[in-house]
Amino acid sequence: MASVPSLASSVDQRIAAALASALPEAGAADPLLRRSDRADFQANGILALAKKAKANPRELATTVVAGLDKGGVIEEIEVSGPGFLNITVADRAIVETLAARAADDRLGVPVSETAGTTVIDYAQPNVAKEMHVGHLRSAVIGAAMVEILEFTGETVVRRHHIGDWGTQFGMLIQYLLEHPHELDHKAADESVEESGEEAMSNLNRLYKASRAKFDSDEEFKTRARARVVDLQAGDEQTLALWQRFVDESKIYFYSVFDKLDMDIQDPDIVGESGYNDMLVETCRLLEESGVAVRSEGALCVFFDDIKGPDGNPTPLIVQKSDGGFGYAATDLSAIRDRVGNLKANSLVYVVDARQSLHFKMVFETARRAGWLNEDTHAYQLAFGTVLGADGKPFKTREGETVRLVDLLDEAVDRATAVVRDKADKAGLTEQEIVENGRYVGIGAVKYADLSTSASRDYKFDLDQMVSLNGDTSVYLQYAYARIRSIQRRLAGVAPKAHPELPLAPAERAMGLHLDGFGELIADAAKEYAPHKLAAYLYQLASHLTAFYDQCPVMKADTPEQQENRLFLIDLTARTLSKGMSLLGIRTPEKL
């Protein structure tokens, strides 16, 4: 089905046409339409246009109103102040537009006419290391942006740039070669699948033992560093053990992502090692083009506006003086691959804000080299820190970083208790209590993150996250479940739009908000701002609460009014469900 124009766009086009007629010499003019507390919409563009044309703004506004084609969309329009236009749309237009949206599986949301290909780099854990609370935001924000962009028609390539290369692997591999019995840690029955926790327990044990040996034995340290050279050179035995570490880590990664209700596919994991064969050529291209120069033996890129505390330039080091490659070489090779091979128009990096300087230099280097240009851009979707209730970085009582699995398990436990408290009233089975507890708990964690602008820090407060009141996912999930409960109780009544009926204020407010869903999705996608979608959904649930207070569905005055109100809440439920799914949050049918 074709996309459904919003009421805002219909009003905007009508006022723009009247403006062009009233002031033809101005050409195409933007009415600057926005939602308003004084009416449904307000147009503010006439003031600037009149000033440019040296005309009286109020007289121009009056002329525009006189020549306006209301077309059954605009009920009333008045000139306010020095030339503002206050516009009220017709009840019939609201219902008819919503009915057209309801007939479409996409809820009338258009596919972008300028859709291209975006690579999103997110959820980047490290091999042989536990995931902690610091890994949460990249995974949650990145997954939401994947869903939002795909819904707009964008082709999205997922990339999980895991830390699977470097000096620590020389240490781990050398230790295993010298302690081969450590390989026999698995159960005798190889058919028993290893759990994520077991995999990470094994890796942790090996990492601690090898680190202790590395720190205390200089000869072992020398052998471990030599093993890194073997790894980079592709030594068969070394690579086989390295692959074992990667495979064990993936078992663990997948178990954590499963807890997060997040789908991570093996082909999407292209870690640092995936670009190893490109590093030499990347350096050659940068040096031959003059983008990078040798400085004290290292291959560096310099920037006029980036200096250290001593006032000297701070370079991006692409290759170290000993011939080793740093993160910059890998990141630049990844850009070459994503632009050249994956044909991406946009590269989005969901990475901690503390790495902003690094990515600023990497992106500028790629631009100088011609790998990024006007048609292909890179953007760091930088995120802030997860804080504890005390406003400090989230730590355990012992001062250690919180394990992500522990945090998620506690969220599910808290949420399950909340769901169980309401279970009798909702008629939930034990299986539904457990299942919904997971959906509510994981949804609470995701929503707390996504309802905050990514660039800001946010406090991790589980008590608030699983609250039924306030801006929480539980509030939204209960709003959805309440609609489904009403529909079950009125199973014999079908939702049906009745454009001929007048709308109560709460019906109008909810209807106009529903109409803005498509434009909101477009904004969230364009600005890489999932928090805007979260805010929209919370406002929708708040409109629904006001609707219930003023517009009873079960005890409507007439059968037509009941059908119309069922139609409005059904579209609200579908919008809530779609919006929440784009954020990676499930909406249980009963709560």
In this structure, are 526 and 547 located in the same domain? Answer: yes
User: Residue 253: in which H helix or E strand, if any?
Assistant: helix 236-259
Predicted local distance difference test score (pLDDT) of residue 25: 78
Whether the per-residue pLDDT at 355 is higher than 80: the answer is yes
Whether the per-residue pLDDT at 551 is higher than 60: the answer is yes
Query: Is 587 inside a domain boundary?
Result: no
In this structure, are 414 and 461 located in the same domain? Answer: yes
- What does the buried/exposed string (b/e) look like for 329-349 if buried means 16 or more CB atoms within 10 Å of the residue's CB? bbbbbbbbbbbeeeebbbbbb
Of residues 248 and 358, more confidence is placed in 358
Return the percentage of the chain with pLDDT > 70, whole number.
Answer: 97
Query: Is 245 inside a domain boundary?
Result: yes
Predicted local distance difference test score (pLDDT) of residue 85: 96
Which structural domain range is residue 518 located in? 404-582
Please identify, among 264, 280, 299, the residue that sits at the C-terminal boundary of a domain: 264
Nearest to 336 by CA among 378, 302, 300, 303: 378
**pLDDT tens digits for 127-141?**
988 899 989 999 999
**pLDDT tens digits for 238-269?**
999 999 889 989 999 999 999 999 999 999 99
In this structure, are 193 and 156 located in the same domain? Answer: no
Query: Is 398 inside a domain boundary?
Result: no
User: Residue 79: in which H helix or E strand, if any?
Assistant: strand 74-80
In this structure, are 53 and 84 located in the same domain? Answer: yes
Whether the per-residue pLDDT at 310 is higher than 90: the answer is no
Cα(260)–Cα(405) distance, integer angstroms: 9
Query: Is 394 inside a domain boundary?
Result: no
In this structure, are 286 and 247 located in the same domain? Answer: no
In this structure, are 357 and 415 located in the same domain? Answer: no
**What average pLDDT score do residues 337-366 get?**
97
Of residues 406 and 204, more confidence is placed in 406
Confidence of residue 528 (pLDDT cuts 50, 70, 90): very high
Query: Is 390 inside a domain boundary?
Result: no
Cα(365)–Cα(371) distance, integer angstroms: 9
Predicted local distance difference test score (pLDDT) of residue 2: 61
In this structure, are 139 and 66 located in the same domain? Answer: no
Q: Tell me, what CATH number does 350's domain have?
A: 3.40.50.620
In this structure, are 420 and 540 located in the same domain? Answer: yes
Residue linked to tokens 């290391």: 129
Query: Is 111 inside a domain boundary?
Result: no
Cα(201)–Cα(487) distance, integer angstroms: 48
**Cβ(96)–Cβ(113) below 8 Å:** no
Q: Which are the contacts of 115, defined by CB distance < 8 A and separation ≥ 6?
A: 152, 153, 154, 155
The structure's pTM equals 0.94
Q: Tell me, what CATH number does 484's domain have?
A: 1.10.730.10
Query: Is 441 inside a domain boundary?
Result: yes
**What average pLDDT score do residues 503-507 get?**
98
The beta strand positions in 136-197, using DSSP E, are 155-159
Whether the per-residue pLDDT at 228 is higher than 70: the answer is yes
Predicted local distance difference test score (pLDDT) of residue 187: 41
In this structure, are 280 and 423 located in the same domain? Answer: no
Beta bridge partners of 216: none
In this structure, are 425 and 514 located in the same domain? Answer: yes
In this structure, are 453 and 531 located in the same domain? Answer: yes
The one-letter amino acid code at 226 reads A
Structural domain count of the chain = 4
Please identify, among 264, 295, 312, the residue that sits at the C-terminal boundary of a domain: 264
Please identify, among 264, 287, 305, the residue that sits at the C-terminal boundary of a domain: 264
**What average pLDDT score do residues 71-84 get?**
94
Query: Is 385 inside a domain boundary?
Result: no
**pLDDT tens digits for 576-588?**
999 999 999 999 9
In this structure, are 147 and 295 located in the same domain? Answer: yes
